[in-house]
Amino acid sequence: MWATARYRALGVVCRRWRQHSFSSLRELPPKVGVTLFPQHAPSAPSHTTETSALSPPLLAAGGERVFQWERPPRNVLLLKKMHDEKVELALDDLIKHFRDQYPDVNLIVEAPVYEQLLDKHPTLTPLHSHEHSLLAEKTDFVVTLGGDGSILHASSLFDQSAVPPILSFSMGTLGFLLPYDIQSFPEAIADVVEGKFSLLLRMRLRMTLWDNETDQQLGLKGEDACREMHFMNEVVLHRGSEPHMTTMDAFVNGEHLTRTIADGLIVSTPTGSTAYSLSAGGPIVHPTVSTMMLTPISPRSLSFRTILLPSDATVEISVSEGARSPAEVSVDGRVVRCLCPNQSVYVEMSPYPMPCINFPPELAARRRCGTLPDRREPTVVHDDWVHDINTLLRFNASFLSRHGGVPSAHGCGVDAAVSRRRWEKRRDAQSKAGPA
């Protein structure tokens, strides 16, 4: 109730949306402004950046940022995994919580979900396909219920603009991207509304398609106008349904890197390093590392291995003039166009990263584990990514399992806690000893 009281005390004019709803995004008020500054910088005006959108230059560098609302958020986008009864029940509880505790907040859902919940929750605002361009102007933050696919879907809704902060609850097959337990949603929502969180900025990439003969930009599948696309994991140029390998040329900053005959080439972000690139033999990269990876898919040459490139590089992958067939371009698992010989993909770092909501370690421990059945205290994790490649991806599990050292799911196991205490003890001892 404290959060609700403070929320209303911040000067928001209270309007009961139980009696009023918006039928279109155009009717919603614009999103509120935010203040950002680096995680470890002093909170002084000289270190702050005020902006109404999560946009460059501060965000392009990635990393973690301290976040503050200029006033309480007003518009929240709710995204859920489809055709899952457990998720549908959780969404119903989430909507009721917002209506009880934050009646001034407008809740946006996709059109199919709106039609499904119209009778039960008539105050929801539908997101129609023709209004996607308005979404970035209206949405203060996003809540996802599902797995990592739901977060990728959220990224696709903002594939040409800045992405609002995203709070993800793990209710899918895999919850590697900051997976919070759905049982903790009342406390998590209160912290977000109060601005008690930071943003982990996951790098995205920007892609455009070109015809090399005419030097004309190509449109994407289903699009009348040419446009660029911003994505979270990877872009893949691959043979598609063709039975044989394709021939491609790779360029870095305009310089010819190599010609390869392979099933395809992947250009991925550090976040995408644990997705398709990993399955193709690429390395695992920490999400705060500013780099992009070029990974071949089943190349004919045994000497072609993954290359890590600087984040400010421009990568071009072209279907070679002598290629036997076209190639498909896929972005985060979606086919966007078929390219013919002498057509190419241009990839560079996007100025709009993926801002994932992150809580302080002590709070994040409970947000990740929910309510523990045996009343044990959850393990405090200071690096979620290192923790998750062990608990979720089972990093090097074939060796750890021999000693019983694979931590339990969500980082609530005894082994993780013991390891953490040992690390902290050694760190403190070194700090007291001082320099040698």
Q: What is the pLDDT of residues 70-113, one digit of tens each?
A: 999 999 999 999 888 999 999 999 999 999 999 999 999 999 99
The verdict on 115 and 85 lying in the same domain is yes
Query: Residue 243: its pLDDT value, please?
Result: 85
Q: Is residue 354 part of a domain?
A: no
Where among 152, 185, 202 does a domain terminate? 202
Residues 19 and 155 in one domain: yes
**Mean pLDDT to the nearest integer, 114-138:** 92
- Token pair, residue 337, equals 């166009």
Both 98 and 133 in one domain: the answer is yes
Has residue 340 been placed in a domain? Answer: yes
Return the H-helix or E-strand segment holding 152: helix 148-157
Q: Is residue 355 a part of any domain in this protein?
A: no
Whether 31 and 160 share a structural domain: yes
| β-pair partners for 202 | 354
> 189 and 210: one domain?
no
Asked if the model's pLDDT at residue 48 lies above 60, the reply is no
pLDDT at 110: 95
User: By mean pLDDT, which of 186-195, 310-319, 326-335, 396-405 is the weakest?
Assistant: 396-405
Query: 218 and 149 in one domain?
Result: no
For the question of whether the overall pTM of this predicted structure is more than 0.85, the answer is no
pLDDT reading at 18 higher than 50: no
Q: Please state the domain count of the chain.
A: 3
- Given a contact cutoff of 8 angstroms between Cβ atoms, the answer to whether 212 and 279 are in contact is no
- pLDDT higher than 50, residue 9: no
Q: Domain containing 74 — which CATH number? A: 3.40.50.10330
CA distance 20 to 31: 19
Q: How confident is the model at residue 65 (pLDDT cuts 50, 70, 90)?
A: confident
Alpha-carbon distances, residue 138 vs 33, 90, 320, 382, 417 (angstroms): 11, 24, 43, 33, 42
DSSP-derived secondary structure for 48-90:
-EEESSS-TTTTTT-EEEEEEESS---EEEEEE-SS-HHHHHH
Please state at what angle helix 2-9 crosses helix 185-194, rounded to 10 degrees: 30
Residues belonging to the active site: 148
pLDDT of the residue at 319: 95
Q: In whole angstroms, how far apart are CA 352 and each of 206, 230, 267?
A: 9, 8, 17
* Span of 196-200, 209-213, 215-219, 357-361 with lowest mean pLDDT: 357-361
Long-range CB pairs of 129-136, under 8 A, 24+ apart, other chains included = 131/24, 131/25, 131/26, 132/157, 133/160, 134/25, 134/26, 135/25, 135/77, 135/108, 135/161, 136/53, 136/161, 136/162, 136/163, 136/164
**322 and 367 co-located in one domain:** no
Q: Which helix (H) or strand (E) element contains residue 279?
A: helix 276-279
The answer to which of 127-131, 259-263, 302-306, 397-401 has the lowest mean pLDDT is: 397-401
Of 202, 231, 258, the residue that ends a domain is 202
Q: Specify the pLDDT at position 217.
A: 92
Using the predicted structure, report yes or no on whether residue 126 has a pLDDT greater than 70.
yes
The CA distance from 391 to 40, in Å, is 28
61 and 188 share one domain: yes
> Residue written as tokens 């000693």?
403
Phi and psi of 229, rounded to 5°?
Answer: -135, 130
Sign, Cα dihedral of 3, 198, 383, 407 = positive
CATH code at 277?
A: 2.60.200.30
The mean of the pLDDT values for the chain is 81
Q: What is the pLDDT of residue 418?
A: 66
**Which pLDDT score, from 0 to 100, does residue 413 have?**
47
CA pair distance 240, 374, nearest whole angstrom: 49
Please determine, for residue 329, whether its predicted confidence score (pLDDT) is greater than 80.
Answer: yes
User: Which segment of 190-194, 297-301, 405-409, 417-421 scores lowest on mean pLDDT?
Assistant: 405-409
Indicate whether 299 pLDDT > 60. Answer: yes
Q: Does 277 fall in a domain?
A: yes
pLDDT at site 148: 84
What pLDDT, on the 0 to 100 scale, is given for residue 211? Answer: 93
Cβ proximity of 14 and 103 under 8 Å: yes
Residue 84 within any structural domain of the chain: yes
Considering Cα of 39, then 43, then 47, then 51, what sign does the dihedral take? Answer: positive
In a domain, 44, yes or no: yes
Ranges 14-23, 66-75, 80-89, 233-242: which has the least confidence: 14-23
Question: What is the pLDDT, as a whole number, of residue 172?
Answer: 65
Domain of residue 53 covers 2-202
Cross-strand partners of 68: 35
Once rounded to an integer, what is the mean pLDDT over residues 168-195? 83
**99 and 142 belong to one structural domain:** yes
How far apart are alpha carbons 148 and 168 in whole angstroms? 9
Write down the pLDDT at residue 436: 54
Q: For residue 383, which of 212, 178, 112 has the smallest C-alpha distance?
A: 178
Query: Would you state the pLDDT for residue 187?
Result: 92
Listed range (64-73, 329-338, 390-399, 403-412) with the worst mean pLDDT:
403-412
Domain boundary among 170, 202, 234: 202
Are residue 116 and residue 228 in the same domain, yes or no? no
Q: Please tell me the predicted confidence (pLDDT) of residue 381.
A: 64
Kindly state the DSSP code that residue 258 receives in the 8-state scheme: E
Do 183 and 252 fall into the same domain? no
Query: Is residue 18 domain-shared with residue 167, that is, in the same domain?
Result: yes
Question: How many whole angstroms separate alpha carbon 420 and alpha carbon 435?
Answer: 23
What is the pLDDT at residue 10? 43
CA distance linking residue 177 with residue 233, whole number of Å: 12
Is there a domain that residue 83 lies in?
Answer: yes
109 falls within a domain: yes
Percent of the chain with pLDDT over 90: 50
pLDDT tens digits along 362-380: 666 666 665 444 445 666 6
Contact by Cβ (8 Å): 339, 249? no
Residue 340 has pLDDT above 90, yes or no: yes
